[in-house]
Amino acid sequence: MIHKTLLVDPAKCTGCRTCEMACSLRHEAKCSPLLSRTRVIKFEAKGLNFPTVCAHCSKPHCMTACTQGAIRVDEETGAVVINEALCSGCRACLTACPHGQVGFHPEKRVAFKCDLCGGDPNCARQCPTGAIKYSGVDQFLMARRRALLARSIEA
Amino acid sequence: MLYGWTGKRLRVDLSTGSVKVEEIDGTYREKWLGGRGFNSALLYREVGPDVEPLAPENKLIFGVGPLTGTFAPSSGRTTVTAKSPMGSPPGFGDSNMGGHWGPELKYAGYDQLVIQGKAAHPVYLWIEDGRVEIRDARHIWGKLVPEADAIIKEELGNADIHVAVIGPAGENLVRFACILNDVYRAAGRSGMGAVMGSKNLKAVAVRGTGAVSIARPDEFYSICAGIRERLRKDLMVQMLYDQGTWLLTMPANYEQGWFCWRNFQKGNHPDARLLSGENHRDNYLAHREGCFACPISCGRFSRIPGGRYAGETTGGPEYETLTAIGPRVGLLDPEAVIHNNKLVNELGMDSCSCGGAIAWAMECWEKGLLSGEDTGGLALNWGDQELVDKLIKMIARREGFGNILAEGSYRAAEHFGRGQDYTMTIKGHDMSQDDPRGLGFAFGIGFATGRRGGDHLQGLPCLELTGAFYPGLVKKILGTDEAEDRLSPVKKPEMERYQEDLKAVGDSLTQCTFTHSWSFAVQPEDMARLLSAAAGIDCDAEELLKTGGRIVHLERAYWNRLLVGRLEDKNPKRFTREPMPDGPNKGTVFPEDELIPRYYEVRGWDGETGFPLPEVLKDYDLGDIADELEIYRKKYLDKIKMSQS
């Protein structure tokens, strides 16, 4: 079975960073971009915004890099999750992740990353424009293909 | 542990290089809320009537509130406050900006930043959490806003810092220079950029790695999520997302007749649809931009696909800008408007006052009050884009005739001793592009009495503009739905008062005005619930509105202390004496003589002077300034007598 996952459409992102607030408030009970699992990269002068999210890779580099066995895949959601209690704070996973999606908690001194909120990610739920979607991959791609074709049919 | 607020004020003295962190205690927080309230209170106490606006004694204050940098919708705004160089006499000034700079200040650990004194040479401020550095800016002085932003990010080695910066206009002390953050988000009005320039301060760069602590996180999350859901379904929000504030062009011109054509000579033009929201969206919109945590995203990013400005891109414009440097100066070409917007932003000027100064000069030219001798040989014909482009640059660099316009239309008219009747100013400060002969009578009250002169944001009384889209709302607040009619005088003083108090709350928390006074999806009760859950206090809507009223009264007292009151609470003559010549509101004038006295009554202000009465001040817990103000009231009575003799 292929799980639903987080998929982004940068063209829809307005750079408001609501996702960062929803995420940090839910996971850390406070509002801080640094504690958010999802981050928006902004190029203000060019008016470009890119939401970045964890891909929850099939062969997770972070998991391979972890020497403590602290990272595992949640069978139910497919999320690659960190067990804080087992994390030694060695930061090997931060460097290993090709997408820069593992953070380091400044107070707990452990690695942290997206856990898909147990199957109902707050970032996607709260994104005002649908730039971040929690979706089946095929469904996401088909919608994309359809939108592209619809545009050329209209034109 | 403190929730919502950080409880810290950072004070930097550029003359001595000293940096201090001060506590903002609980009593102060409760009394002034944050953002605009914090700033106004500090300005009143520390910048007295004798301070010159461009002298080192003036203070430039950046304030954010208890909701700034949280999940609360549209909560990332910042208020910048100082004594304004625009007014006559120079008076209260503040300006509110979106973007992402304010939340960053909060994450760095501060509710307020006060900059005083004057640096010996150009500098910029680098705030990285608890570390504050005053850095040399001589190599950035003279740079355009986007250049300065890029250089600072490059040399600090961090692309994620947020920078508030002035352009050449601020350096050259153009009286209506602005401050921009994130390149295109401006604190535009009342000349805050000139104050910054007078301090030799090019920029304030901020990086914060902290957090805003939330007292009741689960409750706060669900209140925010609920409001977000309401905003998502709200028609006004959907329209703002779709077309930005450009959406106003069509109703303003074709239905309501307040489209500012040629310095307010009339309120409509048959070809205004060239500047419609549809035209912009379909042909020039590159991207929609959201300020921090904002689900509305009214912000635009424009791209000109072809023609003489092919390939140019810029943040914005929004409605006030597109009309200021468009129809106000006789232009309806969207490409010219987008290009001019890029110019004023990059040079760092308030588009409204810049367009206002140019429009004034063009009308004087048309009426034969200015000649080539006055303008250095320039012919000032309406709608001449080449000229507008040139004048914008000349103003920012204070070259030739531009040097005179850089003083604002009010002082330019004084300089020539001509054309005073065509300065569309209040208290010396240019109007935004809003005409009470069509926009509405509550707006007209706000213009006349507003805390920063001619400006629609005193109360933004959209109850008379969009209130009818919310069935029962106007009736619930004002007891009658007659007030939904823009051009009815019924309950307009009460409406303006309500909206002013509400706006003061929003600006202080901080929360964007469009969430609670254009869209009315957010009600005062929601704001109270948000604040209560975030800060762990227990407040209600009534208390909040009272606090808003306190802020409005203190700002009023700031003007009164400068001997400004009833005599100066006047719209430009055009609005009260010249009936709208054609269009849907043909024949309308703003009934100022009827409405302003009624507004004073509703406010509890003295009808003779327009000063708040001592018992009203006491009721707002402002008893401590009542005695002082009484002294000024007596002086003002003398001023009235003088004006009559």
The answer to whether residues B278 and B381 belong to one domain is yes
**In this complex, is the C-beta atom of A19 within 8 Å of any C-beta atom belonging to chain B?**
no
**CA proximity to B502, closest of B544, B464, B539:** B544
- For chain B, list residues with pLDDT below 50: none
Q: Is residue B344 part of a domain?
A: yes
Which of chain A's residues have a Cβ under 8 Å away from the Cβ of B288? Answer: 14, 129
CB-based contact B70 A22, cutoff 8 Å:
no
The most distant pair of C-alpha atoms in chain B lies apart, rounded to whole Å, by 68
B370 and B458 housed in the same domain: no
Chain A environment of B533 (Cβ under 8 Å): none
Does residue B404 sit in the same domain as residue B549? Answer: no
Q: Do A47 and B287 touch (CB under 8 A)?
A: yes
Q: Contact, B551 vs B40, CB < 8 A?
A: yes
Residue among B211, B288, B293 whose CB faces A18 most closely: B293
Q: Report the CATH number at residue B570.
A: 1.10.599.10
Q: Are residues B568 and B489 in the same domain?
A: yes
**Chain A interface includes B289 (CB < 8 A):** yes
B381 plus B491 within the same structural domain: no
pLDDT digits (tens, 9 = 90+) for A37-63: 999 999 999 989 999 999 999 999 999
- What is the radius of gyration, based on Cα positions, of chain B? 23
Beta bridge partners of B453: B451
Whether residue B577 sits in one domain with residue B498: yes
CA angle, corner B292, sides to B289 and B293, nearest 5? 105
At A1 the pLDDT is 66
The answer to whether residue B582 sits within a structural domain is yes
Mean pLDDT of A138-152: 91
**What does the pLDDT read at residue B537?**
96
User: CA B569 to CA B46: how far, in whole Å?
Assistant: 25
- Do B386 and B372 meet the contact criterion of CB atoms below 8 Å apart? no
Q: Which amino acid is at A56?
A: H
Q: Which of B207, B234, B254 is the last residue of a domain?
A: B207
Residues B451 and B349 in one domain: no
Distance of CA B298 to the CA centre of its chain: 16
> What counts of helices (H) and strands (E) characterise chain B?
27, 18
Between A and B, how many residue pairs show a Cβ–Cβ distance under 8 A?
102
Task: Please tell me the distance from the alpha carbon of residue B125 to that of residue B484, in angstroms, as a whole number.
Answer: 47
Fill in the amino acid letter for B212.
V
* 3-state SS class at B257: coil
SS3 assignment for B66-87? CCCCCCCCCCCCEEEEEECCCC
A124 touching B, CB under 8 A?
A: no
Helices B385-396 and B351-366 cross at an angle (nearest 10°) of: 120
CB contact under 8 A, B293 and A106: no
How far is A123 from A52, CA to CA, in rounded Å? 11
A26 and B CB contact within 8 Å: yes
Single-letter amino acid, residue B584: P
Structure confidence at residue B276 (pLDDT): 98
Q: Which residue of A has its CA nearest to B346?
A: A45
The residue among B152, B182, B207 that closes a domain is B207
* Interchain contact, B228 vs A128, CB within 8 Å: yes
| Residue A35 sits at the chain B interface (C-beta within 8 Å) | yes
Nearest to A14 among B213, B228, B288 (CB): B288
Residue A68 pLDDT more than 70? yes
Question: Which whole number is the average pLDDT over A139-150?
Answer: 91
For residue A127, the number of C-alpha atoms closer than 13 Å in the C-beta half-sphere is 27
B460: helix, strand or coil? coil
Task: Give the number of other Cβ atoms within 10 Å of residue B133's Cβ.
Answer: 13
Give the Cα separation of A147 and B399 in Å (integer).
52
Start-to-end CA distance of chain B, whole Å, equals: 61
Decide: B377 and B369 in contact? Cβ < 8 Å. Answer: no
The H or E element containing residue B185 is strand B185-187
The verdict on residue B421 lying in a domain is no
CATH number of the domain that residue A28 is part of? 3.30.70.20
**What pLDDT, on the 0 to 100 scale, is given for residue A155?**
72
CB contact under 8 A, B100 and A106: no
- Per-residue confidence (pLDDT) for residue B388, from 0 to 100: 98
- Count of domains observed in chain A: 1
Write out chain B residues lying below 8 Å of A47, CB-based. 184, 286-287, 289, 301, 313, 315
Distance from CA of B422 to the nearest CA of A (A): 37
CA distance A94 to A65: 9
> For position B92, what pLDDT does the model report?
98
Whether residues B250 and B194 fall in one domain: no
Give me the amino acid identity at B166.
Answer: I
User: What SS3 state is found at A72?
Assistant: strand
Residues of A in Cβ contact (< 8 Å) with B292: 16-17
CB contact under 8 A, A32 and B221: no
Counted residue by residue, chain B has a size of 645
φ/ψ of B407, rounded to 5, equals -85, -5
Burial label, B645 (beta-carbon count in 10 A; 0-12, 13-18, 19+): exposed
**What is the rounded distance in angstroms from the CA atom of residue A103 to the CA atom of residue B334?**
45
The candidate with the shortest Cα–Cα distance to B132, out of B59, B231, B207, B182, is: B207
- As a residue count, chain A comes to 155
> Which chain A positions have a beta carbon within 8 Å of B213's beta carbon?
30
Residue B435 lies in a domain: no
Q: CA B23, B25, B28: angle at the middle one, nearest 5? A: 120
B341: domain range? Answer: 242-411
pLDDT, tens digit (0-9, with 9 covering 90-100), for B146-178: 999 999 999 999 999 999 999 999 999 999 999
B127 and B30 part of one domain: yes
CB contact (8 A) between residue A16 and residue B313: no
pTM score over 0.80: yes
With an 8 Å Cβ cutoff, are B313 and A35 in contact? no
> How many domains does one find in chain B?
3
